[in-house]
Chains A and B, each alone.
Chain A
């Protein structure tokens, strides 16, 4: 099976500290890969290296056969292959929900205002927030803000969606709606890489679980394998800790 995303030998150092110590990891089209691991193990850094928000120190990131690290490639165009959803939502506070979703459509893809708004409304509709189009982020709940952020990424039709702890900043009662949107995305065939501690969601939605610690992938497998029969002692500790 050819991979949609192929990460090879990814390394990242901040100063003299090596945070990612050789990551090899690939994701097939339509696959939902969950990344778990202790805090500080480099999960966010790995996601951010994929779309080069963080510049990798070494390694390759290949999307659909195209090497993103190749010299002379158009960085801004490359980045759009990924949609990224952040723990802190990062909506633009001075723009409405629709403004948030249409900004890149207009500035990057050069769509007209009408075109961009039609696409933007469709994206907001996908996350169930069409009627919130004129609302400002400060008028939305955290869960709604995160769904607008997902719509903002979806509107650009990325090949892969990256989620960095999308529900960690949410009150428990708001988590469900965001996970619901992610389930719908999965059902619609989106390829997704999710860093999250939502273990129930991982169990029933993930195709594969990757366990990271100290900047390395220690183990990966199906949810049943990782949760039911972890091989590495650190995975065992981590999973045991979570299910306690």
Chain B
């Protein structure tokens, strides 16, 4: 056996690819669903929290800052396990899918809040003053003047963080969610071969490369004309 054949035997066995691709594909569908749901709720919640914070009310800001710090510090796996095994003992039964979505949304929201917030405060104070002096309310200033400038700055770090957090969908495997990693590892133990894991890796790459491309496209779209 040549080296190449040995490599193929260990990582890219054709009959295993043929046998397991439907499983991996169903994992892809689950991963995509969770990822899309996490991106939408996580970014939306992060934006809402950052906008609330801009009103600088001490009452609202203290819980926001605590929430953000906790979810940035906590390893997602710990949060997932606590919620998954904790909620049933409180009489609340939710699926592993829902737990994964909830926890990752909160984690993404925590990071996104910090990113949106730093974008908001990076817009020069004069922009607020100009808008307020023409009678715009705080909300109108935020939506028409500040956020369009802030979000532009936020897109690159948000893209990176969004990808990092959605990759954690692989943690679904520890609570039995049938996402890519789960399908890949069970196929691996059944077949005793790493081929299904390679298939999982390829699936992740196929999912996340377009996200990176989308990120830089959005970045360009938000760049306004400059001389």
Give the interface of A toward B (CB within 8 A).
48, 51, 53, 76-77, 79-80, 82-84, 86, 88, 90-94, 103-104, 107-108, 136, 138-139, 149, 152-153, 156
Contacts and interface: CB of A to CB of B under 8 A. Distances in A.
Nearest to B125: A90
Contact of A156 (B130, B134, B148, B149): B134
B133 A94 contact: no
Nearest to B133: A84
A84 to B, nearest CB: 4
B92 interface: no
A76 B136 CA distance: 6
Contacts of A107: 136, 140, 144
28 contacts: A51-B133, A53-B132, A76-B132, A76-B136, A77-B135, A79-B133, A79-B134, A80-B135, A83-B134, A84-B133, A88-B126, A90-B126, A90-B129, A91-B130, A92-B131, A94-B149, A103-B131, A103-B136, A107-B144, A108-B134, A108-B135, A108-B136, A108-B140, A136-B227, A152-B130, A152-B134, A153-B133, A153-B134
B149 A93 contact: yes
Contacts of B136: 76, 103-104, 107-108
Contacts of B127: 90, 92
Given A79-B133, A152-B134, A103 B144 contact: yes
B: interface residue count bin = 20 to 34
Contacts of B227: 136, 138-139
B132 to A, nearest CB: 6
Contact of A104 (B126, B134, B152, B225): B134
